[in-house]
Amino acid sequence: MNDRGMTRLLLRMPAVSALLAGGLTTLAFAPFDFWIMGVLGPMLLFLIWQKTAGPSFRSGFFYGFGLLGSGVSWLYVSIAQFGDLGWLFPLVITLGFILFISLYYGLLGWLARQFDGLSAGIKLVLIYPALWVSMEWFRGWFLTGFPWLQPGYSQLDSPLAGYAPLLGVLGVSWMVLLTAGLLSDLLTGKTGRTWRATLLLLIWLSGWWMTELEWSRPAGEPLSVALVQGNIPQAQKWLPEQLSPSLVLYANLTKKNLDRDLIIWPETAVSAFQFQVEEAFIVPLERLIRESGSNLVFGVVQMDALRDNYYNALVSLGNEERDHYYKGHLVPFTEYLPFKSLLWPLVDLFTIPMSDFAARQAPKPLMRVGDHTVGMSICYEDAFGSEM
């Protein structure tokens, strides 16, 4: 398609094109892993911004809606399946959340339009990628952050992954968006194609070369680890009558792995407040772990009576003193209710077990396991790459 034909298509349906571009971008992430779509989706949005007149807020918003609407469906599943709320309320909550996050992309489009006086090359190669990465940084920080579907995470299997040890996820995101801008400029620009193609080739060849480098070296003796999974259905996990069978199951599985250096249980494997099971279960378990010379990390709920809060926590046993870690980034609408002061009428409808955790932004502890120092994170926090 020539430049005029592309312009005609984008002018005809820019919002629909942006919506499709966002939806296609989702294919770059697991479980699809078509990483090239992580480049082509933003490239199409850049072309829309470059080749269409008028406000870009709408096209940015529709891109975000397409991306999040197809990539955050797990939020609906979590609320509907574990909250026993039917289908309408979870759908409204999920849709509202997606619309809110899509506003970030709308703001991105509005900001992009403010640079219309600059040349196409400068906008596509410098301005658009820089604005987008800045928005991703803000999205990963504002209101405790929601960095889900950041462009850099789509490139785990591409040559651009080679930049991750040096630049982190935002740096890889910048490389993705720089590639999208260069491709857009190559498609629409009439001059300077040689240097753009050369830069594009250099970016990807450098990334491929860096994937072959060893960025770390083994230190100390290898660590043997056992991951213990009780496979207890979520619908049963928090039932009072399920607590005792769950603890017995995890204790028996642990006894079979005491020859390991480290044993790890899942998040909130102990489905109770720690004080409720401290004397009857945790103290004897700690004695067993110390006698074996192993280490155990398990998930549990910890109560802070002074602040009237409870936390999604990890506890490690095996050292002279226990180590504790408290989840600092919580999943919206399943672990806490955002804008609680505004959405208080919904509190009574929220019946998901343990859905009102408090976040605790404490320094991340380092646990000693043999000759190794081990960091901790819990589930959703893995999306915050800068903190890993």
What is the per-residue pLDDT across 219-241, written as a single tens digit (0 to 9) for each? 778 889 999 999 998 878 888 99
Cis upstream peptide for 218 (omega within 30°): no
Q: How many residues does the chain have?
A: 388
Specify the pLDDT at position 309: 86
Instruction: Please give the torsion angle defined by the CA atoms of residues 200, 203, 209 and 212, in that order, rounded to the nearest 10 degrees.
Output: -120
Is 379 among the catalytic positions?
yes
Q: Across the strands, what pairs with 301?
A: 273, 312
| b/e 319-340 (16+ beta carbons within 10 angstroms → b) | eeeebbbbbbbbbbbbbbbeee
Report the alpha-carbon distance of residue 63 to residue 45 in Å, rounded: 7
d(CA 58, CA 13): 12
d(CA 194, CA 70): 37
Token representation of residue 173: 């995101």
Residues 267, 286, 364, 387: which is the catalytic one?
267
Confirm if 23 and 66 have CB atoms less than 8 A apart.
yes
Which two three-digit tokens encode residue 266? 């899942």
Active site residue 267: yes
Can you point out the beta strands (E) in the chain? 225-227, 262-264, 270-273, 295-304, 309-317, 323-326, 367-369, 372-374
Three-state SS at 326: strand
Is the distance from CB of 316 to CB of 323 less than 8 angstroms?
yes
The active-site residue out of 51, 327, 335, 381 is 327
Q: Which regions of the chain are under pLDDT 70? A: 1-11, 82-85, 339-355, 361-365, 370-371, 388
3-state secondary structure of 226: strand
Catalytic member of 286, 364, 379, 387: 379
Question: For 274-292, what is each residue's pLDDT tens digit?
Answer: 999 999 999 999 999 999 9
The CA-atom distances, in angstroms, between 323 and each of 37, 97, 298 are 42, 35, 11
